[in-house]
Amino acid sequence: MTLLKLFAAFMRVGVLTFGGGYAMIPILEREVIDRNGWATHEELMDYYAVGQCTPGIIAVNTGTFVGYKVAGVAGSVVATVGVVLPSFLIITVIAGIIQNFADIPAVKSAFAGIRVCVCVLIFNSVIKLWKSAIKDKAALVLCLAVFALSIFFDISPIIFVVLCGAAGILLTRLGVRGK
């Protein structure tokens, strides 16, 4: 039953995620945290951060981590298949017909509207993540530093995550952050 619930939850994530990895955060929160209680906000954020640093698609990596936590290797496989299957099926269908519809003004307008919606969903997720991640001045300084550096320099997200992880360890050992 757990495997079926994992598959169904990540199938919904796969079907409802438009706009890439960041746009899936609200859907993941609803399925993983609110509906099923498989992880906390902090755990999901950790899975998401590690998923971004590892090769592959963020949604797939995050689904694999959550599935593993819930039901081991079988759970990771089921969650991964669940999140990938809708995209695979939808892309297969769209690839066959997209050239026939891509230049239609209504289709272009629909995609422009969807992009705006995805931006709002991402912004809402940032606000939720902010509330759970920025708990002290040290975290705020790290956040602002990464934000500024990411605007002015083309630095890999992996480098940011590794450096902030090291900074978190160092600041905790120095007593600047709570343990």
Mind listing the pLDDT tens digit for each residue in 13-49? 888 776 666 677 888 889 999 999 999 988 888 888 8
Q: Which residues contact 144 (CB under 8 A, 6 or more apart)?
A: none
- Check: CB of residue 70 under 8 Å from CB of residue 6: yes
Percent of the chain with pLDDT over 90: 36
pLDDT on residue 142: 92
Mean pLDDT of the chain: 86
Amino acid letter, residue 101: F
Computed over its alpha carbons, how large is the radius of gyration of the chain?
A: 18
pLDDT on residue 107: 83
pLDDT on residue 21: 63
Instruction: Give 142-161 pLDDT, tens digit per residue.
Output: 999 999 999 999 998 889 98
- Rounded Cα gap, residues 163 and 127, in angstroms: 23
**Cα dist. 77→15, 33, 57, 116 in Å?**
17, 20, 15, 33
- Rounded Cα gap, residues 87 and 83, in angstroms: 8
Residue 96 neighbours by CB distance under 10 Å: 9
pLDDT on residue 19: 61
Instruction: Give 112-121 pLDDT, tens digit per residue.
Output: 898 898 888 8
Out of 69-78, 119-128, 136-145, pick the least confident.
Answer: 119-128
Percent of the chain with pLDDT over 70: 96
